[in-house]
A and B are shown apart, each in its own frame.
Chain A
Amino acid sequence: MAKWGMAVDLDRCTGCEACVTACHAENNIPTVGPEEADKGRTMHWLRIERYWEGDFPDVQLKFRPVLCQHCDNAPCEPVCPTYASYHTDEGLNAQVYNRCIGTRYCANACSYNVRVFNFFNPEWEKPLDLQLNPDVSVREVGVMEKCTFCVQRINDAKIDAKANNEDGLIVDGALQSACAQSCTAKALVFGDLEDPDSEVSRLSGSARGSKLLGELGTGPAVTYLQKESWYESGDR
């Protein structure tokens, strides 16, 4: 049984935001337009947080991609009265759109605020709708949605592995979330944490690794590898 997870190398991430649009394209995420965006109702499943440090001229800027952390002890799951939000055997923090009645409790409980809500029915002005990914359902008004670790790709990969690999297991790297696939600096690495040889397992064990808001004990499946500072030519 796999356990899906991700490693985010903040030392690689350049804030290019390819992941953000890749996520939109893969998961049929609507755009809400300026008025709604101004109200704070954009639908990004994945955002790159930026924080300033210091003042000019000694000023620094830090980027941090934040997506659903697929916590093992997810605060968002138990508060849902209809089981719309629950934890799969493979460690995915799943959202069942059909069961969601829109209490928005999960969004409050999520300390990472990575859940986005359909305040209106999504619109794709024709023929933009032709781009919609048939593997991903389109969500209606009143439904909470969030990063799924591209569960549709996971399922495709499973079928593919059953058909083509003698051991029926997914080869590390053969399966990538849309964001990881597009990530130009290879900062996002997606894979199976159960597989000790997978790159994501290797990176998650890194000394630079830490969890976002780890002190809350939510047990995220996403590990952040902290930015390093420069050391003169190779000496460590």
Chain B
Amino acid sequence: MDRRQFVKASAVTGASASLAACGNPEDQFIRFISDEILPAGLAVSRRSICPLCPAGCGVEVRVMEGDIDVVRDGVAGVVKTGLAKKLEGLPAHPVNQGKLCVRGQAAIQVTYHPDRIRGPLQRTGERGSGQFEPVSWDEAIGELSSRLGALAESGGQNGLRMITRPLRSQRGFLIREFLERFGAPPAVTFDIFGDEVLRDANFQSFGVRQLPTFDIASSRYLLSFGADILGTWNSPVSQNIGYGDMRQGRPGLRGKFVQVEPRMSQTGANADQWVPARPGTEGFLALGLARAIMAAGTRAPADAGRAGALIEGWSDGLDAYTAEEVETVTGVPSRTVEQLAREFAENLPAIAVIAGAPLAHTNGMFNALAVNALNALVGSVGAGRGVGFTPQPEGLEPVQRGERTIEQLANEILESPAGAAPPVQVLLVNDTNPVFGAPPAMRVADALSGVGYIVSFGSFLDETGNLADLILPDHSFLESLVDHVPESGGGRAMASAAQRAMRPLHDTRDMADVLLEVARSLDFDEPLEWETYEDLVQTRFDTLSPPEGFDSAWIAAQFGGFWVDQSPSSPQPDPPAADIVPRAYSAPQFDGSADEFRFHFLPYVSQSFLDGSLAHLPWLQELPDVVTTAMWSSWVEINPRTAEELGVVEGDLVEVRSAHGVIQAPALIFPGIAPDVLAMPLGQGHRNFTRYASGRGANPIEVLAPMRESETGELAWAATRVNIARIEGEGGLITLAGALREDEELSR
């Protein structure tokens, strides 16, 4: 379904077509009674929560009165209502303290996006043909209910499945309850670039299955192994705030920041020292530092406790990891190893961070454990000690992700015997796009085509939504009640909640309320006890202890936008009693032979689009990527010397080929990347994702090999080798900057 058709389809329900039918409102100006009365010309401030990443930053919404075109009983006119105008950080919020990142600033365009689905749609053409027709909510919900009802009667509860993005709101809890009471397996969470490896590692080392919270502001040394702490990873805003204070917040004291990575990220650009190590050897380097520190005698192996015990040879001081050995393995000069070790041990509190590519290797788990051990060795772990874990509010803990992965689901569908009824009769898709986000090797698209009936709650027609049979568009976050339990970014347990900031623009419904309605019509044996999603959130929040001056946590949360645990933070849970299995270093395995495929392929999460879910926002498309200054395009980053050797100049169209796929993108000369590495940002290459992203650039995921992290089985997305060749054609690279260097000298 191309854009034009889409607009047509959605228009019938939405205002525009009816407007066309009745002429434009200027001609026959009808003003309906205001939906919402606001002081004219003055701004009202309301609360919300940024939904774009798991950090869960508090948002202050600037709402002002405005006119919108509406159709009431077939009559076109305008009505006054409150409209969100600008998003700011919520000043008091523990996570983002009044700040908001570039993506959060752009989040407002999600609500006003011209290609938003304006009402329920039903597939008319072939699946995937993209042909839909509008239906009423009653029909739509009736259709879904009847199908589920049929499943329930035929005892095929197992035929209902759900895919969702990781949810840290009570929607996750609702989904779990819904599926459980229906009798279906738990939802599959899809988040290909997630941090499961690190969570598992943290559980192993410290007994907390959670991402850490860093006290960067008061640290004196920050050593990051490939973690994009200032860009996109974990809780970027709170980390940026801390970083600023670490630099200039303490008179006379300026912390040092070292970044270890083969391709200079936005984060790496800020480092005092940038250390390129061979991909996948970060853990080895970390242990090299640990060995040097222990050898210096300032720290004893025992100091690392359980985290150290998980590393083979730790208790004997890691003799294997001499600086020379580290140099041969990682390519980092032994001098540098010793220098880093000395500085790391001397400048306490010192923090070591690992995330991103280092964990996306076959030995990712080991790398994570090694860095955990390094932190533990210098005593940086624990509340108020650099690396901590934000306590989770009891009774409100987000649902842990299900055991099954999207790949297992896909296999189950694909392996079902031909002729037999498809194992998945009804599939619910909530705010996730596996068709775009999963490597082709996982064959997610094929699998979905074998599903009986697909229902999407998405607000936009993306690659996955395009395969849906029924689309029940959700509200945007500004239009609905939002709640969130941050995983990290604060010292105390907290939970955010906010009522809607504005009325829905289109004929959409809250996914949670839709589920509740469907549940009602299905009369479960033990029905869901909540009328609306608000009931659910309120009852859940009211289990929390109300803060000073409030008689309910729910009221407090709505009043301030968040609730923070006033009681002294609970001690860290003890590490699991399970017996300790020490891990030995194993060299990272790569898909593709080094002589056939010369280059390591490093896809990275884009500053603008994250994993691609934000590629539809024009502000972010036109945002010059800060390192490459590229806009509206995707690109392949090549070391200048490599490019010269290949006869490639900036903007040339090149072909990136792995054993599993091939993509084309313009080359971008990038001084900050190792000669044997090619990097490419995620996010572009959407086949079908609104007028702004469709058919733009290439998707690096398409060349990824289905390599596994050996212990967790997570996708090792940095373990693919590729080759590159210059080919004919327009590169289509669009950059803002005219020169690479400030002392750029022109040809003489």
Do A and B touch directly, given a CB cutoff of 8 Å in the complex? yes
Q: A18-B99, A229-B272 are in contact. Are A184 and B237 (CB under 8 A)?
A: yes
CB contact list, B104-123 vs A, under 8 A: 104-106, 108-109, 112-114
Q: A126-B16, A134-B64 are in contact. Are A61 and B269 (CB under 8 A)?
A: yes
A59: chain B residues at CB < 8 Å are 264, 274, 671-672
| Interface flag for B626 (CB, 8 Å) | yes
CB contact list, B620-670 vs A, under 8 A: 620-624, 626-627, 629, 631-633, 639-641
A63 to B266 alpha-carbon distance, docked (Å): 10
Residue on A nearest B673 in the bound complex, by CB: A56
Cβ-defined contact, A56 with B243, below 8 A: no
Residue on A nearest B264 in the bound complex, by CB: A61
Cβ-defined contact, B620 with A21, below 8 A: yes
Cβ-defined contact, A51 with B740, below 8 A: yes
Cβ-defined contact, B627 with A134, below 8 A: no
Which of A32-40, A87-95, A100-108 forms part of the interface with chain B?
A32-40
A228: chain B residues at CB < 8 Å are 247, 254
A61: chain B residues at CB < 8 Å are 264, 268-269, 627, 672
Quick one: which of A52, A130, A182 contacts B100, CB cutoff 8 A?
A182
| Interface flag for B136 (CB, 8 Å) | no
CB contact list, B249-285 vs A, under 8 A: 252-254, 256, 264, 266-270, 272-274, 276
Q: A14-B243, A21-B106, A57-B276 are in contact. Are A182 and B99 (CB under 8 A)?
A: yes
Quick one: which of B272, B607, B622, B626 contacts A42, CB cutoff 8 A?
B622
Cβ-defined contact, A49 with B737, below 8 A: yes
Q: A interface, how many residues as a size bin?
A: 35 or more
A186: chain B residues at CB < 8 Å are 241, 244-245
Cβ-defined contact, A130 with B270, below 8 A: no
A225 to B244 alpha-carbon distance, docked (Å): 13
Quick one: which of A14, A20, A33, A183 contacts B270, CB cutoff 8 A?
A14
Contact bitstring B605-624, A, C-beta under 8 A = 1, else 0:
00100000000001111111
CB contact list, B91-147 vs A, under 8 A: 96, 98-102, 104-106, 108-109, 112-114
How many of chain B's residues have a CB under 8 angstroms from any CB in A? 87
| Interface flag for B83 (CB, 8 Å) | yes
A14: chain B residues at CB < 8 Å are 230, 240, 243-244, 266-267, 270
Residue on A nearest B86 in the bound complex, by CB: A25
Quick one: which of B66, B102, B736 contacts A16, CB cutoff 8 A?
B102
| Residue with the greatest number of chain A CB neighbours at <10 A, chosen from B102, B256, B737 | B102
Contact bitstring A58-69, B, C-beta under 8 A = 1, else 0:
011111000000
Cβ-defined contact, B105 with A63, below 8 A: no
A233: chain B residues at CB < 8 Å are 220, 253, 346-347
A52 to B741 alpha-carbon distance, docked (Å): 5
Cβ-defined contact, A128 with B102, below 8 A: no
Cβ-defined contact, B237 with A24, below 8 A: no
Nearest-CB distance from A157 to chain B (Å)?
Answer: 13
A37 to B247 alpha-carbon distance, docked (Å): 35
A231 to B253 alpha-carbon distance, docked (Å): 8
| Interface flag for A15 (CB, 8 Å) | yes
Nearest-CB distance from A118 to chain B (Å)?
Answer: 15
| Residue with the greatest number of chain B CB neighbours at <10 A, chosen from A125, A182, A185 | A185
Nearest-CB distance from A203 to chain B (Å)?
Answer: 9
Cβ-defined contact, A52 with B740, below 8 A: yes
A37 to B618 alpha-carbon distance, docked (Å): 12
B245: chain A residues at CB < 8 Å are 186
A232: chain B residues at CB < 8 Å are 343, 346-347
| Interface flag for A181 (CB, 8 Å) | yes
Cβ-defined contact, A128 with B737, below 8 A: no
Cβ-defined contact, A185 with B243, below 8 A: yes
| Interface flag for A214 (CB, 8 Å) | no
Nearest-CB distance from B313 to chain A (Å)?
Answer: 29
Quick one: which of B114, B268, B674 contacts A56, CB cutoff 8 A?
B674
Quick one: which of B99, B264, B741 contacts A183, CB cutoff 8 A?
B99
| Interface flag for A195 (CB, 8 Å) | no
| Interface flag for B44 (CB, 8 Å) | no
B272: chain A residues at CB < 8 Å are 229-230
A181: chain B residues at CB < 8 Å are 88-89, 98
Cβ-defined contact, B626 with A17, below 8 A: yes
Quick one: which of B83, B619, B633 contacts A31, CB cutoff 8 A?
B619
| Interface flag for A131 (CB, 8 Å) | yes
A128: chain B residues at CB < 8 Å are 109, 112-114, 618
A107 to B16 alpha-carbon distance, docked (Å): 39
B300: chain A residues at CB < 8 Å are none
A59 to B68 alpha-carbon distance, docked (Å): 52
B237: chain A residues at CB < 8 Å are 184
A228 to B256 alpha-carbon distance, docked (Å): 10
Cβ-defined contact, A130 with B68, below 8 A: yes
| Interface flag for A161 (CB, 8 Å) | no
| Interface flag for B231 (CB, 8 Å) | yes
A57: chain B residues at CB < 8 Å are 274, 276, 674
Quick one: which of B248, B624, B742 contacts A51, CB cutoff 8 A?
B742
A236 to B272 alpha-carbon distance, docked (Å): 17
Nearest-CB distance from A186 to chain B (Å)?
Answer: 5
A18: chain B residues at CB < 8 Å are 99-102, 104-105
CB contact list, B193-218 vs A, under 8 A: none
Nearest-CB distance from B694 to chain A (Å)?
Answer: 12
Given contacts A56-B672, A182-B100, 12 further A-B contacts (CB under 8 A): A14-B266, A17-B607, A31-B621, A34-B631, A56-B671, A57-B674, A59-B671, A60-B269, A182-B99, A184-B96, A184-B237, A186-B244
Interface residues of B (CB under 8 A from A): 16, 41, 64, 66, 68-69, 83-89, 96, 98-102, 104-106, 108-109, 112-114, 220, 230-231, 236-237, 240-241, 243-245, 247-248, 252-254, 256, 264, 266-270, 272-274, 276, 343, 346-347, 505, 607, 618-624, 626-627, 629, 631-633, 639-641, 671-675, 691, 696, 734, 736-737, 740-742
